[in-house]
Amino acid sequence: MKLDPFYLIVDSAEWIERLVPLGVKLVQLRIKDRNEADIRGQIRLAKAVCAAHRCQLIVNDYWRLAIAECCDFVHLGQEDLAEADLAAIRAGGLKLGVSTHDEAELDAALAAEPDYVALGPVYPTILKKMKWAPQGLERLSAWHARVAPLPLVAIGGLNPDRIEGVFAHGADSAAVVTDITLNADPEGRTKEWIRRTAAWR
Ligand SMILES: Cc1ncc(COP(=O)(O)OP(=O)(O)O)c(N)n1
Ligand SMILES: Cc1nc(C(=O)O)sc1CCOP(=O)(O)O
Ligand SMILES: [Mg+2]
């Protein structure tokens, strides 16, 4: 399976409505702190927009809702993974991406037979407090050696100037949040990401 090299992560369907029509082909809906009915509505709207624009939607965390809403890709962290019903996810025909931050987590991720593995934070991130120090580019190469031929996603502190480095060290896709959502011009920055990742598409 091939992932688009530009992996946008946003916290609402409204962001997806705004940015996916610009040509985004891979987006994660990563919602925190909303009630279930709200999240279900967000997933429905995101799914409709992504279908209209041939963009792959990945639902973070809410695997039960993703199955119920007939989505086809979920992303799970290690705690989510430990509690998730992987058989139900597979029976629902969903693909699975898994976060990793150390070797033990990589072992657990690979045991789940995922469709991609993410490594982070490659660089410092301001999005959330993390207990792991930045992994650095050499760590991406080490992950690539263990993960290939599965796609490897780099995440954490990425910006357009760091794209080349992560792909040179074995990443197949670069995931990004704040470089776009906190940018003064999110649309312009999204177009820049699409352009700067074109060589790996
Ligand atoms: C592509 C990608 N990589 C890592 C994460 C982080 O997932 P997780 O560790 O479950 O943390 P939250 O995002 O749920 O806070 C991700 N979402 N996407
Ligand atoms: C959501 C998330 N997960 C990470 C991990 O390492 O698992 S780093 C991260 C934040 C990514 O946001 P930004 O692009 O703004 O740094
Ligand atoms: Mg999670």
CATH no. for residue 31? 3.20.20.70
> Is there a contact between 32 and 53 (Cβ–Cβ < 8 Å)?
no
How confident is the prediction for the chain on average, in pLDDT? Answer: 98
Q: Confirm or reject: Cβ of 157 under 6 Å from ligand 2.
A: yes
Structure-block tokens of residue 97: 């991406």
Q: Tell me whether residue 95 is in a domain.
A: yes
Pocket of ligand 1 (CB under 6 A): 9, 28, 30, 60-61, 75, 77, 80, 97, 99, 118, 120, 128, 153, 155, 175
Q: Which of 57, 59, 75 to mutate to test the pocket of ligand 1 (most atoms within 8 A of CB)?
A: 75
3-state secondary structure of 100: strand
User: What's the rounded mean pLDDT across residues 81-90?
Assistant: 96
User: What residue numbers bound the domain in which 73 lies?
Assistant: 6-200
Instruction: Give the span between the Cα atoms of 47 and 171, in whole angstroms.
Output: 26
Q: Atom 15 (ligand 2): residue with closest C-alpha? A: 178
Q: Confirm or reject: Cβ of 135 under 6 Å from ligand 2.
A: no
Q: Tell me whether residue 1 is in a domain.
A: no
What are the tens digits of pLDDT across the range 5-22?
999 999 999 999 999 999
Instruction: Give the span between the Cα atoms of 77 and 121, in whole angstroms.
Output: 13
Instruction: Give the span between the Cα atoms of 157 and 114, in whole angstroms.
Output: 24
Q: Tell me whether residue 59 is in a domain.
A: yes
| Domain count for the chain | 1
Q: Atom 7 (ligand 2): residue with closest C-alpha? A: 120
Q: Confirm or reject: Cβ of 140 under 6 Å from ligand 2.
A: no
The pLDDT value recorded for residue 162 is 98
The pLDDT value recorded for residue 106 is 98
Residues in contact with 86: Cβ distance below 8 Å, sequence separation at least 6, in sequence order: 96, 112
Q: Confirm or reject: Cβ of 125 under 6 Å from ligand 2.
A: yes
3-state secondary structure of 175: strand
* Amino acid at site 200: W
Would you state the torsion angle of the CA atoms of residues 61, 48, 160, 165, taken in this order, to the nearest 10 degrees?
60
* DSSP type of residue 33: S
The total number of residues shown for the chain amounts to: 201
What are the tens digits of pLDDT across the range 95-121?
999 999 999 999 999 999 999 999 999
Of 116, 120, 109, the residue nearest 149 (C-alpha): 116
ipTM summary value:
0.99
Q: Which of 6, 102, 155 to mutate to test the pocket of ligand 2 (most atoms within 8 A of CB)?
A: 155
User: What's the rounded mean pLDDT across residues 125-151?
Assistant: 97
Structure-block tokens of residue 6: 């530009």
What are the tens digits of pLDDT across the range 19-63?
999 999 999 999 998 999 999 999 999 999 999 999 999 999 999
pTM of the entire predicted model: 0.98
Q: Which of 130, 131, 153 to mutate to test the pocket of ligand 2 (most atoms within 8 A of CB)?
A: 130
Closest approach atom of ligand 1 to CA 60: 17
